[in-house]
Every structure is written in structure tokens, then in C-alpha cells.
Structure 1
Amino acid sequence: MTLLSATAVLAASIVAAPAQALPTQAPPGVAIAAVQGPGFVSPLAGQTVSGVPGIVTTVKTTSPRGFWMQSAVPDRDPSTSDGIFVFTGSTSPTVAPGDAVTVAATVTEYRSIGSGETDTTTPDLSVTELTKPVVTVTSSGNPLPAPVTITPFSVPSRFSPPVSGNIEQIRRATPARSAQEFLEAHEGERVSVPSPRIIAPSNSFGDVYITSKPNSDRSVHGGALLSSYNLPTGRIKVTALDGSKPVMNTGDRFAGPVVGPLDWSNFGGYVIDAPTLPAVVSSGLTPTVAAKASDAEMSVATYNVENLAPGDSAAKYAALARGIVTNLASPDVVTVEEVQDNSGATDDGTVAADATVARLTAAISAAGGPRYDHRGIDPVNDTDGGQPGGNIRTVFLFNPSRVSFVDRGAPSSSAATVAQRGPAGRVQLSVSPGRIAPADPAWKDSRKPLAGEFTFRGRTVVVVGNHFNSKGGDQSADGRFQPPTRSSETQRAAQASVENAWVRSLQAIDPRAAIVIAGDLNDYQFSPAVRTLTGSGSGLTDLIATLPRGQQYTYVYSGVSQVLDHILVSRSLRTGARYEVIHLNAEFAGQTSDHDPQVVRVRP
């Protein structure tokens, strides 16, 4: 997230760990709040404690096994949590909810570490736990401590503390200041979110995201919108400890409160580990359908088909075909991203993708769509990123009964296409289909833009299909490093700069050149890369930014509805352009792709 740097006032709350040696044995009978401490990390980390009292609230019998316990009487410090997880290792806990216990254990800060990460580099926040416990049950059948109700007004509107660096160094959290501090102050406690709305579809594990702020950052279908680098703050992940996996779509809601201890997910972000889930009330969400283009309109769509390979199921091909024919209304041109080669992810040197494309176009015809022709350029093996061996690329599908493709030159993976002056001073491409500056370092290990020259009703339209480099390598926006490092932005900014210069070269020849830029830019409508590509709106218009705010999303990740896919048009096409995002994947538990397609109808 892009947050403010630390101010002089707040700098005092960021301090290094105490330099003096700490005792290894804490006094007996220490309260849970004293173990948790007022910051993100326990002041007793590494020490042994004994006689820690609490009421067992929730038991977890799957890995990591253990139980949560909570003080029967909360302390008066809003910065300290009164709940904590007791990790029992490979042994399932023998306690039950309502047991009053005392625990002797080691205070540990547990942090999940991913591949290639270390304890100092992983962005995950740590969880304060009691490990190697000796548990004594003193009574049973006690009432559980009342859960903390998280209302629409509980969580601050700012996501992260207004500091720069590792937020775990904050000695005292201020729950009223940021969402991360609020949630940390309740780590391990029972919390309750009353009848929350679901803001992202359930996954194969049964996990789902809810919001405690139903009227904040709301998308048109009930998701949580990303409109800046400040994450939506009502968002909380939910997982069911009983193993239930209800199928849920964005906009559905739970019929009752979601109750459980607040934990940190190994996949990032805070999570409620609910013993059981309430019934689900469906919102009746259905996929959207585009308006059909008129005879005078040329329709251009973009669709990331998520690693489409010849070995994918017939059901996937049929669903993609239905989406193109029915939901996108059979566009004249479709830029299709993530088309894999004929051997899929097998890394055998294959680069041709004609079998993949043929299966897709056949499925479209079988679904009642046009007999699409296609153009593309095979990449050099293993040079364009994506799934190893897959050689993903962007391909043009086009309806030859509506538009003509201008074949010019000898397309190859290394040949760059440039603007040149054609008949009557109109712009044309030196190579069509061609690639934009494929040797430029900006495209290293990334997909090169595919440019093509089309003719519609006698008018030339240049279409560019894009798939900019991914966000891989960026730090988690939910994590301890704030603002997170978004290292992948550097390459996308360079790619945008190269493509913007290419667009300007066309417009220098013909200021009224009809240009459509479409595809998966892997970045937000407010990002530096997109601003660079559009020339801050002076050369191209990013059409998704023209929609009402609640409709500005094409992808849902970690419970956040966001923009990754775009269609941009030149000034000559902006007037009268009719543009839609077709929501048929990202908000549904049953997805054909993880991206939503989009389409524009223009009058060249």
C-alpha cells in the first residue's frame, strides 16, 4: 500500500527491541493480555510462562492443532488482546470449549515462511502462541467469553498504520488508527460479524471473504473495491473448522453472525476460524451479457483464458465459447491472453499453438458463434514468462465476415512492427501481425504486445493485444512491511513507456488514427504504469475509468475486487464508444477463468 511516511509524532512509537537481556522465566499466573502485549509482538517472546488462566473457546483438531483460550474477565487496555492460541503440536487437544484451564508453556511468535523466504524477509505477520504446553483443567462447562462484535463502525478506514517499515516494531498498537492495529489488538479473541455479506467467491478449500462494512467500497455486485492503494478495511477471511465447504458467490450473505477466534492466515490477512458457519442466503447473482454491436460498430473484446491448453477439459472450452458467443455477443475481434502452446505446460520445446486455437474456435462455432479466423506470433521457447513450458501468448480471433485482417510483411518473434505512412497519409504497420519492440529489455521474460491492422467498413483500425508482466515478487499488501514493496511495477512502467512511445509514433503520422489497446495489463486503473500508457489520458482513454466506480473491476483477489484488464482507445474512437465489463468469472465459485472479459463497440 502507498502510505504516508512516519512523522515526527509517530516515529516515537517505532522502537527497536530492548537491548537488555530478558529473563527466560516470567512470573507465574501472568494474564493472556500480558503475554500478548500491546504491540504486534509479545514482550515475553521466547520466555516460559506458567499458570496462564483462560477459558477454552474453540478447539482445532487439524493442523496446526491446538485451542484458543480467552481471559474470563477482559483487561481494560484496548491495545492488548485477551485471547491466544495454544499449539499442541502433533497431538490433538483434549480440552473442550468451556473448560477453565491454566497453561504452562513457551511464548512463541509463529510466522509462516514461504519458498525462498526467511524469517526476516517473509511479509507475513507473526501470531503470538503458547507452545509446548502443559494444560491443567480446573473446571468445565463455563460460559464462553462474549465475542467482540465487529460493526460497520469498528474498523478504521485506514488499512495500515501511518508509518514506514516493519509495523511489528510498533511497541503499542492504536486500534482506532488502522485496520491492521485494530485486528492485531483482537488476535486470538472471539469475534462476531453480524450477518455479513460475502465479497469474494468461495474457493476449493471452502474459504471465503466477508466484509464488516457493507456500505463501504461496495461494488455493483457487493464486492469490496480497490480504488487506491489503501485496501478495503472491512475485509476478513473466514474458514470453517468443521470442514464444511459451502459454495458461495460474491453478494451472497450469511443468515446469522460469523463467530470465531481471530487468527492470521498462512495465505495472508486476518481470518476468523469459525467452528461452524451460518446458512447462506443467495444474492441470485447471474453473469452479465453485453449489448450486441450495430452494423456500424466494430466490437473489440479482451479475455484472459487462464493458461488454456489443448489438454484442458471440454467443459472449459465450452464455457469459454459460451462466454464469447453469449456474454460478449460474438465480438468482431477478441484479444485472447494466456493461450498455451500445443503441449501445454510440458516443457518440450514446442512453441506452436495452432491446436489450442483450433480447439477454441471450434468450440465457439459449436456454441453458435462465428467461424473465427486468427493471427498470432509464436514466442521463442521459454522466453515470455508464465507457466514454465506453456509459452503463453496473446492471439487475435476475428470474424472475417465483419472485419478484414491486413497481412503485411513477414511476422516473426523478433521482428518489430513500426508505424509508417500509407495511402492518403493514413498510418499503417510495417509488419502485421507484429510485435512492439520485442528486443527491448522492458519485455524480458514477459509477453510481447501483439499488434495487428484491421479494416472495418473501409477504415483502418490498429489493435494491440497485451499481457504485461505479473505482480510476482511484490510484497503482500496485508503484511508487516508497509508500504509493501511493489517491485514488479518497475517493469510494467517500462513496458508502458515503450508502448506509449509506439502509440505516439502512430498518432504523429495520423492524429486521428483509430487505435484500440486491449488486454491484461496486470495493474490498476490508478497505477503509474497505466497512467504512463495513456499519457495521463492525453493520448489514450482507459475506458474502465469512465465507468461508475462500483463497476470498476475485472478480477477478485484475496477478497478485493480490482482492475487488471483494460481496453484503451484513441481520441478518435472515444466519442460514442460503448464499453462494458462482462462479469461472468471473478465473482463466481464456478469459474472458467479468474479474469472477467470486457468489450467495447466503436465507430471508426
Structure 2
Amino acid sequence: MNLENFFDDIDDPGIKEDIVTTESFNKRMKKISLGVRNIMQSPDVIGVTEAENLAALKRLAEKINADTEAAGKPNPKYEAYLIDGNDGRGIDSGFLVKSSRITVIETKQLGKEDKFDNTSTSDEAFLNDRPPLMLRASMMDDKTKQPFEFTAVINHLKSFLGYNDPKRMDGVRTKKRLQAEFLAKLVQQRQTANPQEKIILMGDFNAYQFNDGIVDVIGTIKGKPAVKGEVMNPSEDFVNPDMIDLVDLISVDQRYSYRYDGNGQVLDHILISNSLQNYIMGFGYARMNADFPESYRMDDTRAERFSDHDAAVAYFSIDAATVKP
């Protein structure tokens, strides 16, 4: 769930964030709470991007919990998890976890110190401005009385800014390729160590579900990179068995999470490991932002347009399903 510049009303001198008024921040929290509760139907785990810090995300969790109880429903007891990254504007990735149902085993930030040679500037730079955050957690299976464990990784990859700028594009394209390879290698490392690990990659990948001819980000992460000659910046195939991009399972007319100049495109993905394919029950996008006008932005009587991205939502059964998607 991309929160689009979710900055709080407290000045943090260590970053270059926008400082909003308390009134504006409270309105944003109210809108997001409406979206999470009424449109997303209060998922057990929510991967979040573009949050300023842990304190802001904790306030959002408290707001959702309070609003849920005020509506006469049980407190979901959402808890916030976030670790600061390298982004100059101070936007980070985190999780909201429904602790009434989910037990957190571990959270770990990945690749914060990794560097790459930026050929556009001849400098060494951080590979991950917003490092992936991994969550290992479990849910109790009421039938077997055994914990159902899974691993989720929230991601916010390099944007398209500078992608076609002659002065910057070499560095930008290299960074996007290396970020994709970083995730592909991470998946393969974990699959090799434990072939049964149930891995979920989620977030704003700033990449389409297909090869754009420049960098095949999603193909590389899935384990199906475009071959040389079909992409300008090719990658090796690092993943076996392949990941599954859930957007490929829905109808073509629903394959968008963002609109750019009126054109629908998929930037937000959920990819699952082969070990989870028998557990997936459904996937879609919570239609609450991309199709709605900017004039709704500060209307806190409705959820729509709290962000510019629709949230990807996946449904899983913890029973061993027999029908593959």
C-alpha cells in the first residue's frame, strides 16, 4: 500500500520532509483508515511504502484500531514495523500487522549498506534508497493446531525518474537492473535454504509486469528475464523455481494500480513463491485511488484518493488447497 508521502506533523531535522499541519495529518489518517477498513477489509498484513518513520506509522495503526472499535468491531490490534532507510526525503517501507491474528517472528532490513557504481555520476551510491524490509510471521491453523509460517518482503524500488534522461539514464537503468537482481538472488538464496518457505514479495516495484525493452525488472525477479536481444540491460536467470506475479492471474482490464497521463499501468505487485501456489485464493486491486480525482484528497468523509496508487490485495487459505490458480 503506497501511502504517497505520508509525512506527519512533527519536524524531523534529519530529513528533507514536507511538514504538514496537524489537521491535514489527521485527515489523511482518517482517510487511510476508511480505506483499510471498508475497502481493503482489514488485511492481516499490510506492506506499506512512503511512510516517514515508525512514529508516524504507529499513529496510523492506533487510528485504524480506534476507528475499528468505534465502529463496533473487535480491535484488530495493528502493530507497526518500520526501519529507516537511505532515502533523502525520508520515505521508508514498513508493515502494519494485525497482532490479533498474526505472530511476528522476525523483522529484518535487507541491503541497506549495499552500493553500486553509478556510471552517470562516476560515484559509488546506495543501491537501495528504500531497502526491502522482511517480515517472518505465522498464523495458527485452527484445524491442525500448527503455526502456518510465511515470509513477506515489502519493496519500493527506484522510480522511472531519469529513465530516459541522457545525462542520468545509464545510472538509473543500472540501478533498476541491480535492484531486480538483488531481489532475485534473495529469493533464490532462501528457496535453496528452505524449498518449502512461503515467500511473498509485495510493494511498489516501479516496473511493469512485462519487459519494457530497457530493463526487465519483474521478469528478473520472477525468474523469467527477457533474453539478450529483447532488452537493452539483460539479466541472468537467478530464480528456480520461478516466482508467480499475481497480476497475471486477473483479467486484463483490471491490470493497473496507477494512472499516468490517464493511462493505467501496473507498478504495484505481489509475487509469491512456487511453494505458495496451492494456497492463493484470490487477488485484485482495492479501487480507491487511481481512478478518483485529486479534489477528493482532503475530503475525510471518504477514503478515495488518500494516495495515487491502488493497493494490491491477495487472499490466501492456510489449508492445503488442491486447486492451483
Give the TM-score band, short-chain normalised: 0.7 to 0.9
Contact kept in structure 1, 2:127 and 2:178, CA below 8 Å: no
Match of 1:511 in 2: 195
Match of 1:526 in 2: 210
Match of 2:3 in 1: 305
Match of 1:500 in 2: 184
Which of 84, 97, 101 is the aligned partner of 1:402?
A: 101
1:603 aligns with 2:317: yes
Question: Structure 2 stretches of 5 or more lacking a match?
Answer: 10-19, 69-74, 117-125, 141-146, 225-238, 297-304, 319-325
4+ runs deviating over 4 angstroms: none
1:449 aligns with 2:126: no
1:366 aligns with 2:66: yes
Provide the C-alpha distance between the structure 1 equivalents of 2:61 and 2:110, rounded to a whole number of angstroms.
26
User: What amino acid sits opposite 1:564 in the alignment?
Assistant: L
1:315 aligns with 2:27: yes
User: What amino acid sits opposite 2:97 in the alignment?
Assistant: F
Provide the C-alpha distance between the structure 2 equivalents of 1:335 and 1:306, rounded to a whole number of angstroms.
13
The alpha carbon displacement at 1:550 in A equals: 0.7
* Shift in CA distance, 489/367, structure 1 to aligned 2, threshold 3 Å: farther
Contact kept in structure 1, 2:114 and 2:128, CA below 8 Å: no
Contact kept in structure 1, 2:130 and 2:157, CA below 8 Å: yes
The alpha carbon displacement at 1:459 in A equals: 2.0
Residue 138 of structure 2 aligns to a residue whose secondary structure is strand
Provide the C-alpha distance between the structure 2 equivalents of 1:332 and 1:579, rounded to a whole number of angstroms.
15
Contact kept in structure 2, 1:436 and 1:499, CA below 8 Å: no
Match of 2:42 in 1: 330
The alpha carbon displacement at 1:504 in A equals: 0.8
Provide the C-alpha distance between the structure 2 equivalents of 1:304 and 1:596, rounded to a whole number of angstroms.
8
Which of 546, 549, 565 is the aligned partner of 2:268?
A: 565
Contact kept in structure 2, 1:473 and 1:488, CA below 8 Å: yes
The alpha carbon displacement at 1:359 in A equals: 2.0
Query: Deviations along 1:496-544, whole A, 9 cap, x unmatched?
Result: 1111111111111221210110000011011301100111284211111
User: What amino acid sits opposite 1:580 in the alignment?
Assistant: G
Provide the C-alpha distance between the structure 2 equivalents of 1:464 and 1:337, rounded to a whole number of angstroms.
12
1:392 aligns with 2:66: no
The alpha carbon displacement at 1:396 in A equals: 1.0
Structure having greater relative contact order (Cα 8 Å, sep ≥ 6) = 2
Contact kept in structure 2, 1:542 and 1:566, CA below 8 Å: yes
User: What amino acid sits opposite 2:187 in the alignment?
Assistant: V
Contact kept in structure 2, 1:452 and 1:463, CA below 8 Å: yes
1:491 aligns with 2:175: yes
CA RMSD for the aligned pairs? 2.1
Contact kept in structure 2, 1:585 and 1:594, CA below 8 Å: yes
Contact kept in structure 2, 1:324 and 1:330, CA below 8 Å: yes
Provide the C-alpha distance between the structure 1 equivalents of 2:278 and 2:52, rounded to a whole number of angstroms.
36
1:171-182 alignment, distance < 5 Å: none
Provide the C-alpha distance between the structure 2 equivalents of 1:521 and 1:445, rounded to a whole number of angstroms.
12
Provide the C-alpha distance between the structure 2 equivalents of 1:304 and 1:512, rounded to a whole number of angstroms.
29
Residue 523 of structure 1 aligns to a residue whose secondary structure is coil
1:22-33 alignment, distance < 5 Å: none
Residue 600 of structure 1 aligns to a residue whose secondary structure is strand
Match of 2:323 in 1: none
The alpha carbon displacement at 1:588 in A equals: 0.4
Match of 2:223 in 1: 535
Provide the C-alpha distance between the structure 1 equivalents of 2:287 and 2:37, rounded to a whole number of angstroms.
14
Residue 130 of structure 2 aligns to a residue whose secondary structure is coil
Query: Deviations along 1:102-152, whole A, 9 cap, x unmatched?
Result: xxxxxxxxxxxxxxxxxxxxxxxxxxxxxxxxxxxxxxxxxxxxxxxxxxx
Residue 373 of structure 1 aligns to a residue whose secondary structure is strand
Provide the C-alpha distance between the structure 1 equivalents of 2:172 and 2:67, rounded to a whole number of angstroms.
39
Provide the C-alpha distance between the structure 2 equivalents of 1:330 and 1:494, rounded to a whole number of angstroms.
34
Match of 2:251 in 1: 548
User: What amino acid sits opposite 1:435 in the alignment?
Assistant: Q
Which of 117, 137, 150 is the aligned partner of 1:461?
A: 150
The alpha carbon displacement at 1:576 in A equals: 4.1
Contact kept in structure 1, 2:128 and 2:157, CA below 8 Å: no
The alpha carbon displacement at 1:486 in A equals: 8.0
Query: Deviations along 1:323-342, whole A, 9 cap, x unmatched?
Result: 1111111000001100013x
Q: Say which one has the larger Rg.
A: 1
Provide the C-alpha distance between the structure 2 equivalents of 1:359 and 1:501, rounded to a whole number of angstroms.
35
Provide the C-alpha distance between the structure 1 equivalents of 2:31 and 2:217, rounded to a whole number of angstroms.
32
Provide the C-alpha distance between the structure 1 equivalents of 2:134 and 2:162, rounded to a whole number of angstroms.
28
User: What amino acid sits opposite 1:535 in the alignment?
Assistant: G
Question: Structure 1 stretches of 5 or more lacking a match?
Answer: 1-302, 342-352, 407-431
User: What amino acid sits opposite 1:586 in the alignment?
Assistant: A
User: What amino acid sits opposite 2:113 in the alignment?
Assistant: A
1:25-104 alignment, distance < 5 Å: none
Provide the C-alpha distance between the structure 2 equivalents of 1:573 and 1:358, rounded to a whole number of angstroms.
30
Contact kept in structure 2, 1:489 and 1:529, CA below 8 Å: no
1:357 aligns with 2:41: no
The alpha carbon displacement at 1:490 in A equals: 2.4
Aligned length: 252
Match of 2:283 in 1: 579
The alpha carbon displacement at 1:384 in A equals: 2.2
User: What amino acid sits opposite 2:91 in the alignment?
Assistant: I
Match of 1:242 in 2: none
Provide the C-alpha distance between the structure 2 equivalents of 1:513 and 1:365, rounded to a whole number of angstroms.
31
The alpha carbon displacement at 1:475 in A equals: 2.9
The alpha carbon displacement at 1:435 in A equals: 1.8
Residue 488 of structure 1 aligns to a residue whose secondary structure is helix
User: What amino acid sits opposite 2:112 in the alignment?
Assistant: P
User: What amino acid sits opposite 2:313 in the alignment?
Assistant: V
Residue 499 of structure 1 aligns to a residue whose secondary structure is helix
Provide the C-alpha distance between the structure 1 equivalents of 2:133 and 2:62, rounded to a whole number of angstroms.
23
Match of 1:261 in 2: none
Percent of counterpart pairs with the same letter? 30
Provide the C-alpha distance between the structure 2 equivalents of 1:535 and 1:315, rounded to a whole number of angstroms.
42
